[in-house]
Copies of this chain bind each other. A is one copy, B any other.
Amino acid sequence: MQDFKDYMERINMFNQAMAIMGFDSEVFAPDGGLAQRAKRAGFFELEVYNMQTSDTMKGFLDKIATVLDTQDDIVKALYKKAKDSYYKKIKIPANIVEEYAKLTEESHDVWRKARKANDFAKFAPYLERIIELDMKKLEYRDPPSGGCKYDILLDDYEDDMTVDIYDKFFATLKETVVPLIKKVMASKKKIDTSFKNIFVDIDTQREISEFISKKIGYDLNRGYIGEAAHPMCMGADSTDVRITTRYDETDFLSSLYSVLHECGHAIYEQNAGDDIAGSYLGGGTSMGIHESQSHFYENVIGRSLEFWELITPELKEILPAGFAHVTPQMFFEAANESKPSLIRVEADELTYSLHVVIRYEIEKMLYSGQCKIADLPQIWNKKYEEYLGLTPPTYADGIMQDVHWSLGYFGYFPTYALGSAYAAQFLFHMKKEMDVDALIRKGDFLKITNWLREKIHKHGSKYTPALLMQKSFGEQLDASHFAQYLTNKYSRLYEL
């Protein structure tokens, strides 16, 4: 058993090195070094792949399977991860894996050009071939809990998730959000956003990043705020969890919220328990749970009125004089303005999940053969009209806006909706034990973070999301909390 643990620790060391090099590549590394960096990254990825699919690994898996019941949670978690990565990778014939990699690389390139030319017909045959080949890959694999083939993809991106679970989840959201948006649209409430674009130079925004991240408890002695094209969080281990942001001089709130978002990810990983810190299990357990922490710090805390009451006085000492007239209420309102839009990545907290629903519903149809590729734009537009009241004028504003499908990432989108739902569910339980609003207003984030640490952070990836929910809350993902949260928040904000 120690040999198995050592072997996993070896993989962990490689993963940590790749994380450090990845961050370096995004933030510091010179442009000229791109090709050699790609070569190095490829080398280390292959090293990890080889370890994950080696005969040695197969030997460990076979032996441990016979005694798994008697093992502790750590061995069980390592075993599950090792088994998943082994069988996901080993079962599909190498020539299909290679063909798929080649196809998606080509397809990604075609998508980029076709999007620019607003030409769906050019991209469509690639999309068709990707799905065909992906279906062929799925023939070699069985759904984890005996469901449909699309379940396999859903489970690949988020352990334990199935069409059954997502169907119920999204149904609840749609029931609430679609009518709520209509009410918000009809509301007479006017939100003043005139101050949002006042110029704030980058050095000042850097100061704000440091102020805001310290305020909510991101430990900079084990962290770093870098700058990169895409905001992200990189955790090598709990003692080195870094984030990036980007600055827009005429939209300081954009970086403020991206810092809060990434700090949520980072605080999760900084709080790994002693039994797993620095190990293979030290990171977060899933994309959905990880995103719940970033949403909690960005939205639940950061977009609350109480938070703006807390930080406005100190923030104004840093901000230029043009903000002198802005009250906490004004910041709060401007940060929460809701408007249906066509582009997912620009959507607000209320409308965001509908963008995800649409993609999920389409993927489900595609993987059960219920629609033709050629009909996709029409289906897409109809759903946007129905859920958000908008019709994309171009494919680039519609079906071709996201990179995911061009790369064959099916089953990925639904996880984007999990974060805010989990965050609202955690808030619901937290409120039973403490006055969260009062703690935010006082700036007492230690109590909030300690609660999250005990329930979620300290477990790292020791438990799958479903097991974590069971152990810490005695229940599973429940969209009704998020529905209620949105209803409360937007009714109050828009005086519905």
Contact = CB atoms under 8 A, between A and B. Distances in A.
Interface string A182-222: 00000000000000000000000000000000000001111
A458 interface: no
A341 interface: no
A222 B36 CA distance: 11
Interface stretch (A23-31, A102-110, A370-378): A23-31
Give the copy number: 2
Interface string A74-90: 00000000000000000
A239 B36 CA distance: 7
Contact of A239 (B23, B33, B242): B33
A140 interface: no
Contacts of A29: 20, 224, 240
Residue of A13, A17, A44 with most partner-chain B CB within 10 A:
A17
Contacts of A220: 30
A35 interface: yes
A237 interface: yes
A43 interface: yes
A13 B39 CA distance: 9
A189 to B, nearest CB: 44
Contact of A20 (B20, B34, B224): B20
A23 B33 CA distance: 15
A33 to B, nearest CB: 3
Interface in A1-45: 13, 16-17, 20-21, 23-24, 27-37, 39-40, 43-44
Contacts of A31: 221
Given A21-B21, A36-B240, A239-B35, A224 B13 contact: no
A340 interface: no
A130 interface: no
A34 B221 CA distance: 10
A256 to B, nearest CB: 22
A20 to B, nearest CB: 5
Nearest to A224: B30
A240 B32 contact: yes
Nearest to A21: B20
A267 to B, nearest CB: 14
A278 interface: yes
Contact of A30 (B24, B30, B39, B242): B242
A32 B220 CA distance: 9
A411 interface: no
Interface residues of A, number: 35
A264 interface: no
A34 to B, nearest CB: 8
A335 interface: no
Nearest to A240: B33
Nearest to A25: B20
Contacts of A224: 28-30
Contacts of A20: 20-21, 24, 29, 40
A222 B32 contact: yes
A44 B29 CA distance: 21
A298 to B, nearest CB: 22
A213 B251 CA distance: 35
A16 B221 CA distance: 27
A301 to B, nearest CB: 23
Contacts of A28: 24, 27-28, 224, 226
A400 interface: no
A288 interface: no
Contact of A16 (B30, B40, B223): B40
B13 A237 contact: no
A236 interface: yes
17 contacts: A17-B21, A17-B40, A20-B21, A20-B29, A21-B21, A24-B24, A27-B28, A28-B224, A29-B240, A30-B221, A30-B224, A31-B221, A32-B219, A32-B240, A33-B239, A36-B236, A36-B239
Instruction: Identify the 7 closest CB pairs spanning chains A and B, nearest first.
Output: A33-B240, A32-B222, A33-B239, A32-B221, A13-B43, A36-B237, A32-B239
